[in-house]
Amino acid sequence: MSIIWKPRLDPDAAYWRDLARELTEQHFAPLAPILDRDQRYPVESVELLQKHKIAGMFVPKPFGGEGATLTSLCAVVDEVAQGCASTAAIVVALPLGGFPILLEGSELQKRIYLGGLSREGVAVNFALSERGAGSDIAAIQTAATREGDGWRIRGEKCWLGNGGAARYYIVFARSDEERGVTAFLVDKEQPGVVIDFFEDKMGLRGTLTSNLKLDTAVTDNAIVGTEGRGLRLALKTLSVGRVTVAAQSVGIGIAAYEAAARHAVERKTFGQAIIDHQGIGFRLADVATELSAARMMTYEAARAYDAGEDIGVLGAMAKLYASEAAHRAVNAAVQTLGGFGYVKPSPVERYYRDQRITEIYEGTSEIQRLVIARAIKTSKDKA
Ligand X SMILES: Cc1cc2nc3c(=O)[nH]c(=O)nc-3n(C[C@H](O)[C@H](O)[C@H](O)COP(=O)(O)OP(=O)(O)OC[C@H]3O[C@@H](n4cnc5c(N)ncnc54)[C@H](O)[C@@H]3O)c2cc1C
Asked if 67 and 61 count as a contact pair (C-beta separation under 8 A), the reply is yes
Which listed residue (100, 134, 251, 347) binds ligand X by CB under 6 A?
A: 134
Transcribe 182-215 into DSSP letters.
EEEEEETTSTTEEEEEE---SS-TTS-EEEEEEE
Tell me the window of 74-82, 108-116, 122-130, 271-279 that interacts with ligand X (CB under 6 A): 122-130
CB of 317 to ligand X, least distance (A): 16
Q: Which of 357, 358, 368, 371 binds ligand X (CB under 6 A)?
A: 357
Of 19-27, 63-71, 125-133, 322-330, the window that binds ligand X (rule: CB under 6 A) is 125-133
First vs last C-alpha separation in the chain: 36
Q: Compute the distance between CA of residue 103 and CA of residue 125 in angstroms, rounded to an integer.
A: 15
Q: Using the minimum distance from each CB to ligand X, give the nearer residue, 100 or 105.
A: 100
- 8-state DSSP, 156: E
Beta carbon nearer to ligand X, 108 or 376: 376
Q: Compare residues 9 and 322 and give the one whose CB is closer to ligand X.
A: 322
Measure the CA–CA gap between 31 and 41, rounded to whole angstroms: 11
β-pairing verdict for 124-127 and 168-176: parallel
Smallest gap from Cβ 360 to ligand X, in A, equals 5
Interface residue with ligand X among 72, 86, 118, 129 (CB under 6 A) is 129
Least Å distance, CB 326 to ligand X, is 16
- Of all residues in the shown chain, the one whose CB is closest to ligand X is 134
Nearer CB in complex with ligand X: 107/196? 196
233 binding ligand X? (CB under 6 A): no
Piece of the chain touching ligand X by CB under 6 A; list 14-22, 112-120, 140-148, 361-369: 361-369
Residue 229 vs 319, nearer CB to ligand X: 319
**Contact between residue 109 and residue 185 where contact means Cβ atoms under 8 Å apart:** yes
- CB count in 10 Å sphere of residue 195: 18
Please identify, using beta-carbon distances, which residue of 129 and 292 lies nearer to ligand X: 129
CB-CB contact of 96 with 215 (8 Å): no
Helix (H, G, I), strand (E, B) or coil at 244: helix
Answer whether 241's CB lies under 8 Å from 195's CB.
Answer: no
- Residue 213 near residue 141, CB atoms below 8 Å: no
Q: Does 235 bind ligand X (CB under 6 A)?
A: no
- Which residues have a catalytic role annotated? 362
Interface with ligand X (CB under 6 A), residue total 23
Q: Of 126, 168, 299, 351, which lies in the binding site for ligand X, with binding defined by CB under 6 A?
A: 126
Residue 6 Cβ vs ligand X, minimum distance, rounded to whole Å: 29
Query: Least distance to ligand X from the beta carbon of 197, Å?
Result: 14
Residues of span 153-212 touching ligand X by CB under 6 A = 159-161, 201, 204, 209
Whether 186 and 169 have beta carbons less than 8 Å apart is answered as yes
CB of 167 to ligand X, least distance (A): 15
User: How are the residues of the chain apportioned to helix, strand and coil, as percentages rounded to the nearest 5?
Assistant: 55, 15, 25
| Closer by beta carbon to ligand X, 7 or else 203 | 203
Using CB under 6 A as the binding rule, whether residue 140 contacts ligand X is answered as no
Q: How many CB atoms neighbour CB 357 within 10 A?
A: 23
By CB under 6 A, the residues from 40 to 99 that bind ligand X are 93
Residue 71 or 368: the one with the smaller Cβ distance to ligand X is: 368
Strands (E), the chain: 124-127, 143-147, 150-161, 168-176, 180-187, 193-198, 209-218, 223-224, 268-269, 272-273
Is 299 a residue that touches ligand X (CB under 6 A)?
A: no
DSSP 74-125: HHHHHHHHHH-HHHHHHHHHHHHHHHHHHHH--HHHIIIIIHHHHHH---EE
Q: How far is the CB of 202 from ligand X (least distance, A)?
A: 9
Q: How far is the CB of 130 from ligand X (least distance, A)?
A: 8
Q: Which residues contribute to the site for ligand X (CB under 6 A)?
A: 93, 126-129, 134-136, 159-161, 201, 204, 209, 357, 360-364, 366-367, 370
